[in-house]
Structure 1
């Protein structure tokens, strides 16, 4: 069955959005803490920005495993399934609130939702919202390459003969501009344009996050995901409101660590890759302990 794949930038790698509300101006009038609100309403509200493999609304309601139905919608991806695990553990129902990466900070501050996975911690965001100290998962920068390579180094690609595509102004752009000054770098508007250029053979490789590169391979039925060394790792976060009551933050830190350390988060990620027609053994793990050394 044909499915549409959305290649959206992970939030920490996109251009940092304007923080609409400062930390001092957040919803201080909220009478209840997040923990009390969840327990009293028996509802955990999860902010979701449509972006694979983190949040995907399955409009076709396909029958593959790895989905969670919230209201009339079937959701897939790390965010909805991890959110459902936490809601089940707390004995509450899960509600998914659609948003965007750019509006994630303001949505948390204005009490539109209680939690947002993969809204990664940055110094700017930390001025306005809080984060669980425990990473939800890890993902590295990679090259979607036409040719395989064993144990490559970034320096191997620092040559004008390599045509590398990257999203304009992203963290990937900043990184390879610094470490690959001799490579032939072409900058594109977004990840979709990078992948289209790769498919059309206008570039030899695209600098993408490993999850994006793996999903692109599944769609194109071509290419290889390379993790050049030194590996550039990004810690994916769990974002929440800043508030004096630390019970929600402490609980979230505990469960996020538990699901990561027991392999549950990796299991959820693998289910999504199977949904996209990929063998989990052939994709980059989100547990960095399992990355090649």
Structure 2
């Protein structure tokens, strides 16, 4: 009787922890919002954007449901390592430093950075910016770039992109250094602001090969399935359709 009971309990444990059972639950995805047009929240609370729709298409290709988990940028990798979600999809550039902590997918797009300044201010971003107030989101590649190349500037770091934009709109910043699509969405459609200098995707030591999803290092099989699904989403035209919808030509 005891042996039968033990065998039954053991079988129940195996079944409830089997890979097949794990496959049935939604994949939880960590994301920092807002970061328009890649990730942002609608009035009803739903999270959407270019990367959100792209990853949802990848999940569908993998035959998995997905759920989005909001997480501030500073804690997004610690949250992954603490198993708050299964992976990160939040416009995260693949960098050597981050690759020490997480396992990245193949890169699936590249995002150039851009300088944006007040239109009535004469500032040459290719010269010394000592004393110039520059807004960046803390912990991003833009933060690293400004810190490396303009250490004498008045670098003002914000927890999220909304704080950067708010201070630019209120005139408390001379320059913003941010992702080009975000600048297009939130600043460059206003004659008050103007783009300064060329788009920036170098050096590779900061920008890496592009944006990818970040996983725990033990989840190599999940990364391989993600990469295969992303390749299919690109091959079947979904990626191009979403790119046109959000960015145009």
Q: Hey, what does 2:216 align to over in structure 1?
A: 241
Coordinate RMSD, CA, aligned: 3.9
Find 2:193's aligned residue among 223, 247, 252: 223
Q: How many residues align?
A: 222
Aligned pairs for 1:208-287 (under 5 A) are 208-217=178-187, 220=190, 222-226=192-196, 228=198, 231-232=201-202, 233=207, 235-243=210-218, 246-260=220-234, 264-265=238-239, 267-272=241-246, 280-281=248-249
The 2-side partners of 1:102 and 1:123 are apart by 17
Q: Shift in Å at residue 97 of structure 1?
A: 2.7
Give the conservation status (yes or no) of the 8 Å contact 2:125–2:196. Answer: no
Normalising by structure 2, report the TM-score.
0.67
Q: Cα 1:215–1:43, aligned 2, differ >3 Å: closer, same or farther?
A: same
Higher helix share: 2
Give the conservation status (yes or no) of the 8 Å contact 2:116–2:183. Answer: yes
Q: Shift in Å at residue 238 of structure 1?
A: 0.4
Q: Cα 1:175–1:197, aligned 2, differ >3 Å: closer, same or farther?
A: same
Q: Hey, what does 2:156 align to over in structure 1?
A: 188
Q: Which runs of 5+ in 1 are unaligned?
A: 1-30, 61-72, 149-154, 274-279, 282-293
The 2-side partners of 1:140 and 1:122 are apart by 15
Secondary structure in 2 matching 1:135: coil
Q: Hey, what does 1:131 align to over in structure 2?
A: 104
Find 1:167's aligned residue among 128, 136, 161: 136
Q: Cα 1:91–1:159, aligned 2, differ >3 Å: closer, same or farther?
A: closer
Find 1:145's aligned residue among 111, 117, 124: 117
The 1-side partners of 2:232 and 2:43 are apart by 31
Q: Describe the superposition over 1:110-162 as per-residue Cα deviations: whole angstroms up to 9, x where unpaired.
A: 44322221344344443333111x113211221113459xxxxxx86305699
Structure with larger Rg: 2
Q: Which runs of 5+ in 2 are unaligned?
A: 1-16
Q: Shift in Å at residue 88 of structure 1?
A: 1.9
Normalising by structure 1, report the TM-score.
0.59
Q: Cα 1:125–1:38, aligned 2, differ >3 Å: closer, same or farther?
A: farther
Q: Shift in Å at residue 259 of structure 1?
A: 3.8
The 1-side partners of 2:217 and 2:133 are apart by 40
Q: Hey, what does 1:56 align to over in structure 2?
A: 40
Secondary structure in 1 matching 2:43: coil
Q: Shift in Å at residue 94 of structure 1?
A: 2.4
Q: Hey, what does 1:88 align to over in structure 2?
A: 60
Q: Shift in Å at residue 81 of structure 1?
A: 1.0
